[in-house]
Structure 1
Amino acid sequence: MQEFQNIGLIGRTESESTTASLERLIAFLELGGYTIVLEANTARALSYHNAKTSSKDRLGESCDLVIVVGGDGSLLAAARALAKYSVPLLGVNRGRLGFLTDITPDQLESKVGDVLSGKYLAESRFLLDMSITRNGKIEGGGSALNDVVLHPGEYIRMIEFELYIDGQFVYKQRSDGLIISTPTGSTAYALSGGGPIMHPKLDAIVLVPLNPHTLSSRPIVVEGSSEFMLVVSEKNTTNPHVTCDGAHQFVTSPGDIIRIHKKPHRLTLIHPLDHNFYETCRTKLNWQIKKS
């Protein structure tokens, strides 16, 4: 029996190129006799299909594999929704950078075919859980595959907060905020903020200050099991925001407590056999290639 028989599909619905790739993929999967389950919004963007449909949040209940056609943002959203099901994700790149969606459109049938025949690499990634507590009551929360970011929000103004790691006071900081990033997110916003690139297999989290008021404040890498607490200062004249993967945004109030820790559910990313993290870095970050 094939390992992957029920295949879920998620696509970036506003993109015509994504729609074309989805239609190719559906035809390929139907020819192979696979059962296709389309995410509901994706299904509405397609002119014709005979596939079952499901909401994104329920897609993992009926699928052995979910293929995401789009950019890294599409895969991040799928990861947040589906991590609890332990269903593996495979990405077809129809975005710009494509650190996570590593099958190109011209390789679609060949690479997806290899994966479905068992020729693939499986990689485990962890996510972060975030919650905001106000006066002892949880006001909001979310999860992130890349990062959780505390930032000023709509106003360009320094904010003040205290950082605790595993219950120990680290510092009080005045800055534009703080990025708390997984290894997956270390090549995203954290990299732009001056953070290090971390190999995806590392069980570590990096904290990257955003334009700190003191030049001695530098990124810190800590173990992945660490628990973080940020206390929003009562002195702030604005309301700092918290975002998860740049998508879900929450507005805090002075005195709020933000807690962040590793999510209990892990994500399995599927890659073609020729996937190489360092080659991805060379290609996506324009590192110099050694001449032959």
Structure 2
Amino acid sequence: MSEFQTIGLVGRTESESTVVSLKRLMSFLEGEGYTVVLEEGTAASVMEHRVRVSKKEKLGELCDLVIVVGGDGSLLGAARALARFSVPLLGINRGRLGFLTDITPDQVEQKVGEVLSGKYMAESRFLLDMSLTRNGKPIGEGSALNDVVLHPGELIRMIEFDLYIDGQFVYTQRSDGLIISTPTGSTAYALSGGGPIMHPKLDAIVLVPLNPHTLSSRPIVVEGSSEIKIVVSDHSISNPHVTCDGHDQIITKSGDVVRVHKKPHRLTLVHPIEHSFYEACRSKLGWGSSNL
């Protein structure tokens, strides 16, 4: 008997192709005797079904496995909501890049069937927790599987902030912002900003400055257990925004303190047995292959 008996489904509801894959996946799972639970937003797009419907957070309590149909953004959203429940996630790619959602739509029955029969590999990934305080009082918080980003918002203006790592002052920087990324996020926005690619198994965080006003400012890789503190400078000519995986946007003010550290709960990503991080880099990032 499979260790996964109750399967939650989450999909990118605005995509017609996602709905097609969801229906195909539901038919396969029900035909194989599995219990299917649809996330409530997803269920609204999948007409004429008879399966249980649940809030996204509740899937973590009900399910042994959650399958996300969509792009990396869909999986990031599911990860933020479900990490504290320790329910593993499996991704079917209906987006563009698909670094985290690695099963193609035409492989649904084959690859999902293999996973459910025990032929899979599991990876543990950590998330980041972000909190913002103003005059010592909490203003907002969020979590991210990819990155926490300090940026100018809609106005393209240079911002100024002080950076501390584990209580030690690092620098005062004037730039377009700062990306604080996990290894998972190192192949996303941090990569576009000039950061290094980090293997998912690394226990490290990378800080990537965005267009710093000095040629000597470079990405810094620190221990995954580090606490990062950003203090928004009184000299900043704009009010920087803070986002977590591009969501949970908070507008800061001068003197605000942003703290980022590793989330205590880890996420388990499930992949087909032949999954390779380096193959994903080759195919998704267009790396050249050797002819030797």
Same fold, TM exceeding 0.5? Answer: yes
- Tell me the distance in 2 between the aligned counterparts of 1:123 and 1:172: 36
Q: Give the letter for the 2:61 counterpart.
A: E
Structure 1 length normalisation: TM-score? 0.99
Where do 5+ consecutive residues of structure 2 fail to align? none
Alignment correspondent of 1:238: 238
Describe the superposition over 1:3-50 as per-residue Cα deviations: whole angstroms up to 9, x where unpaired: 000000000000010000000000000001100000001001011111
State the SS of the aligned residue for 1:153: coil
- Tell me the distance in 1 between the aligned counterparts of 2:203 and 2:247: 24
**Contact conserved, 2:153 with 2:241, CA < 8 A, in 1?**
yes
**Contact conserved, 2:69 with 2:92, CA < 8 A, in 1?**
yes
Question: Per-residue deviation at 1:87?
Answer: 0.2
Query: How large is the RMSD of aligned CA atoms in angstroms?
Result: 0.7
Q: Give the letter for the 2:105 counterpart.
A: P
Question: Per-residue deviation at 1:2?
Answer: 2.2
Describe the superposition over 1:261-286 as per-residue Cα deviations: whole angstroms up to 9, x where unpaired: 00000000000001000000000000
Check if 1:51 corresponds to 2:51. Answer: yes
Alignment correspondent of 2:126: 126
- Tell me the distance in 2 between the aligned counterparts of 1:275 and 1:30: 26
Alignment correspondent of 1:191: 191
State the SS of the aligned residue for 2:157: coil
Check if 1:74 corresponds to 2:74. Answer: yes
Structure 2 length normalisation: TM-score? 0.99
Q: Give the letter for the 1:196 counterpart.
A: P
Q: Give the letter for the 1:77 counterpart.
A: G
State the SS of the aligned residue for 1:288: coil
Q: Percent identity?
A: 76
- Tell me the distance in 2 between the aligned counterparts of 1:240 and 1:15: 32
Alignment correspondent of 1:109: 109
- Tell me the distance in 1 between the aligned counterparts of 2:15 and 2:248: 22
Question: Per-residue deviation at 1:291?
Answer: 3.1
- Tell me the distance in 1 between the aligned counterparts of 2:46 and 2:38: 10
Describe the superposition over 1:109-160 as per-residue Cα deviations: whole angstroms up to 9, x where unpaired: 0000000000000000000000000011010010000000000011100000
**Contact conserved, 2:160 with 2:173, CA < 8 A, in 1?**
yes
Alignment correspondent of 2:16: 16
State the SS of the aligned residue for 2:59: helix
Where do 5+ consecutive residues of structure 1 fail to align? none
Alignment correspondent of 2:146: 146
Give the alignment of 1:167-246 within 5 angstroms.
167-246=167-246
Question: Per-residue deviation at 1:237?
Answer: 2.4
Structure 1 runs (4+) deviating above 3 angstroms are none
- Tell me the distance in 2 between the aligned counterparts of 1:94 and 1:166: 40
- Tell me the distance in 1 between the aligned counterparts of 2:32 and 2:281: 34
Would you say how many aligned residue pairs link Structure 1 and Structure 2? 292
**Contact conserved, 2:133 with 2:256, CA < 8 A, in 1?**
yes
Question: Per-residue deviation at 1:59?
Answer: 1.2
